[in-house]
Structure 1
Amino acid sequence: MTDNTPRLRAGDQARHTALERLEWAFRDGQIDFAELQERTEKAQKATYIDELPTLTQDLSLPANLAEPTPHAHPNPNLRPNLHSVPDEHHSVAPNAANNHQPARIDSSAAATGSKLSIGIFGGTDKRGPWTCAPTHTTMAAFGGTGLDFREAILTAETTVVNIGCAFGGVDVIVPDHYQVDVDVLPIFGGTDVTGKPGRNLPAPGAGQAPKIIVRGFVAFGGVEVKRVPQ
Structure 2
Amino acid sequence: MTVLFGLLLVINRSRRQQRRRLEGDASGEIAAAAIFGGDSRRLVTDTFTGAELITIFGDTMVDLRDSDIRSRPAIIETVTVFGDTEIRVPDDWTVRVETLNVFGETIDRRPRSAGRGSDSPPDLIVTGVTLFGETEISD
**TM-score of Structure 1 vs Structure 2, range by shorter chain:** 0.7 to 0.9
One-letter amino acid of the counterpart of residue 221, structure 1? G
* Residue 29 of structure 2 corresponds to residue 75 of structure 1: no
- Given that residues 191 and 224 in structure 1 are in contact (C-alpha distance below 8 angstroms), is that contact kept between their aligned partners in structure 2? yes
**Comparing both structures, which one devotes a greater share of its residues to helix?**
1
Give the fraction of aligned pairs with identical amino acids, expressed as a percent. Answer: 23
| 1:21-100 alignment, distance < 5 Å | 34-42=4-12, 75=23
Relative distance call for 1:73 and 1:165 in structure 2 (3 A) is closer
Residues 76-105 of structure 1, C-alpha deviations (whole Å, 9 max, x = no match) = 68xxxxxxxxxxxxxxxxxxxxxxxxxxxx
Larger radius of gyration: 1
Where does structure 1 lack aligned partners over 5 or more consecutive residues?
1-31, 46-51, 53-68, 78-108
Equivalent residue number for residue 132 of structure 2: 220
Secondary structure of the corresponding residue to residue 50 of structure 2: strand
Secondary structure of the corresponding residue to residue 146 of structure 1: strand
**Comparing both structures, which one devotes a greater share of its residues to strand?**
2
- Given that residues 118 and 139 in structure 1 are in contact (C-alpha distance below 8 angstroms), is that contact kept between their aligned partners in structure 2? yes
Relative distance call for 1:42 and 1:182 in structure 2 (3 A) is closer
Relative distance call for 1:135 and 1:42 in structure 2 (3 A) is closer
Equivalent residue number for residue 149 of structure 1: 64
Equivalent residue number for residue 189 of structure 1: 104
CA RMSD of aligned residues (A): 3.7
Secondary structure of the corresponding residue to residue 175 of structure 1: coil
Tell me the CA shift for residue 135 of structure 1.
Answer: 3.0
Normalised to the residue count of structure 1, the TM-score between the two structures is: 0.48
**Within 2, Cα distance between the matches of 1:72 and 1:190?**
32
Where does structure 2 lack aligned partners over 5 or more consecutive residues?
none
1:167 to 82, 94, 119: 82
Q: Give runs of ≥4 in structure 1 deviating > 6 Å.
A: 205-210
Tell me the CA shift for residue 155 of structure 1.
Answer: 2.6
For these two proteins, the number of residue pairs brought into alignment is 137
**Within 2, Cα distance between the matches of 1:39 and 1:76?**
24
**Within 2, Cα distance between the matches of 1:157 and 1:168?**
28
One-letter amino acid of the counterpart of residue 38, structure 1? L
